[in-house]
Structure 1
Amino acid sequence: MSVQTTPKRPDRRSLLAASLALAAFAALSAGCASDPPVGADCPAIMASAADELRVLVFRGGSAARLGHNHVLRAGDLRVSWPAAGPVLRFRLDALAIDPPALRAALGPAFASAVDDSAREGTRANLLRALEAAAHPEVVVTTLQQVGEGPRRAVEAEISLHGVKRRQWFVAEVQDRRARGEVVIRQSDFGIQPFTVLGGLLAVQDALVVQFELVQP
C-alpha cells in the first residue's frame, strides 16, 4: 500500500472479502512513535513481521458443504501513524489467498485442502468482483478513539470499491500493540457477494476482519 500524508478528518468461489478488510486496522494507539512537529507527516512504512490483517470469508448457499471457507491476508500492508491513529493501505492484487499455514492455524473450519489452481480461480473471481483494476487499493483511516486502558472504541473510515464508510469497532490496546476483529458487510460497499448456480454456491455477505498491529 506510497507515502501517506496525514489525512484530513472528514470530509464485496470467494472473496470479496478482501475488501475489507479493511478495516480493522485502525485500532492502534494514537500518535507517531514520537510526536512530530505540528503539521509534520508520519511516513508510510511496510508493516513489521508482527503486523497482520486477515479476512475470513465464509461459504454459503444450499450446497455450501461443497465449497470452502477462505482466508485472505494483506500482503503489502503499509502503515503510517498520524496523531489520530494509524492509517492502513494495501492493494487487492497483493492479497495472499488461502496461505496453507494460516489455514491450518485457523482450525477445522479451514481444514479442507485448497490447491494452487483453486487459489488462482479464487483470485480471479475476487479481483473481478471488486473491480480491482478501477479500485486497486483499500485504505483505512483512524478518525477517533474513545476510552482509556486496554479496551478502546475506535471509529475508522474505510475506503473500498470506490465507497467510503465509517465503522466503529473495539480494539484491545496494550503498550504499543493492538489487536481485535470487526464484522463488515460487502453489500455496504456496493459489492454483490459471489454466487453461482442460482445460489447453490455462494459467499456470505458478512466478513470477519482480524488484525494485530505494533506501533514502531
Structure 2
Amino acid sequence: MSVHATATRRLLLAFALAGLAGCATPPPSAGAPSPEQGNELRVLVFRGGTAARLGHNHVLRAADLRVDWPAVGPVLSFRLDALDIDPPTLRAVLGQAFSSAVDDAARAGTRANLLKALDAVAHPEVVVRTLHQQGEGSRRAVEAEITLHGVTKRQWFVVDVEGKRARGEVVVRQSDFGIQPFTVLGGLLAVQDALVVQFVLVEP
C-alpha cells in the first residue's frame, strides 16, 4: 500500500466515528476519550427547559460500537438500544456539569425517554459510512454519509490523526435528522437540540 493510500485510510477512519453532523474539531478537552482505550464514542446531552436546573446533563456511551475497514475508509455502526446511559466512571471525569448523582431509576427513565424520542424501535441503528477525505498532515477534512432516525445526510468533519489514531469532537443537532428533542410539561424540562459527540478510532 502506498504512503498516500495509508494516510488516506487513516484519516478517513477519523471521520466515521463522529456518527453524525459536524463542525471543526477543537483541541482535546478534559474528559475526552483516551486513545489508549481503543474505539470509543460518547454523546453529551444537555438539559434545557424553563426548569433546567431540576434536570441532569447526561453522557451516553456506544457500548456495541462496530467498525469495519473497507478500502475507502471505515464504516461505523452502533445500536441506540445498546447505549450505556450515564456510566458513573464517565460522569466522574466530566466535571461539575455532570457531578449530580444519577441513580438506577433515573437512568432507566432517561433510557425510556431517549429511545422514545429517537424512535429507536423503527430506527435502531446509527451508521456512518466514509466517502472521501481531503488534506494532509494531522488535521483532515472528511466527508461521510450518516444515517440516523431513517434520515441519511452527507456531511463534513474535521478530525485529528496521529499515527493509527484519530480523535475529535463534533456538534450534532437532532433536528437535522428529523428528531424532536425530548420535552415534557410544556417545555418545563427538556433536552437541548445540540449534542456533543466525542470520539476516538484506532486502526487495527
Q: Normalising by structure 2, what TM-score?
A: 0.82
Cα distance 1:85–1:146, how it changes in 2: closer, same or farther (>3 A)? same
| Secondary structure of the corresponding residue to residue 116 of structure 2 | helix
Q: Contact between 2:18 and 2:168, CA under 8 Å: does it hold in 1? A: no
Gap runs ≥5 in structure 2 = 1-16, 23-35
Q: Contact between 2:21 and 2:173, CA under 8 Å: does it hold in 1? A: no
Cα distance 1:24–1:99, how it changes in 2: closer, same or farther (>3 A)? farther
Aligned to 1:150: 138
1:193 to 2:181 alignment:
yes
Mapping of residues 1-216 of structure 1, within 5 Å: 22-23=19-20, 49-216=37-204
Q: Distance in 1 between matches of 2:44 and 2:155?
A: 18
Cα distance 1:178–1:21, how it changes in 2: closer, same or farther (>3 A)? closer
Aligned to 2:13: none
Give the Å deviation of 1:96: 0.2
Aligned to 1:44: none
Give the Å deviation of 1:154: 1.1
Describe the superposition over 1:140-187 as per-residue Cα deviations: whole angstroms up to 9, x where unpaired.
111111101100011111101100012211100011000001111101
Gap runs ≥5 in structure 1 = 1-19, 26-47
Describe the superposition over 1:83-103 as per-residue Cα deviations: whole angstroms up to 9, x where unpaired.
222110101110000000001
Describe the superposition over 1:88-141 as per-residue Cα deviations: whole angstroms up to 9, x where unpaired.
010111000000000111111101010000000111111111111111111011
Q: Contact between 1:24 and 1:211, CA under 8 Å: does it hold in 2? A: no
Cα distance 1:21–1:59, how it changes in 2: closer, same or farther (>3 A)? farther
Q: After the TM superposition, which segments of 4 or more aligned residues of structure 1 sit over 4 Å from their partners?
A: none
Q: Normalising by structure 1, what TM-score?
A: 0.78
Count matched residues: 175
Question: Which amino acid counterpart does residue 140 of structure 1 have in structure 2?
Answer: V
Cα distance 1:164–1:179, how it changes in 2: closer, same or farther (>3 A)? same
Q: For the aligned residues, what is the CA RMSD?
A: 1.7
Q: Distance in 2 between matches of 1:52 and 1:151?
A: 19
| Secondary structure of the corresponding residue to residue 114 of structure 1 | coil
Quote the sequence identity (%): 79
Q: Distance in 2 between matches of 1:80 and 1:201?
A: 38
Q: Distance in 2 between matches of 1:21 and 1:51?
A: 11
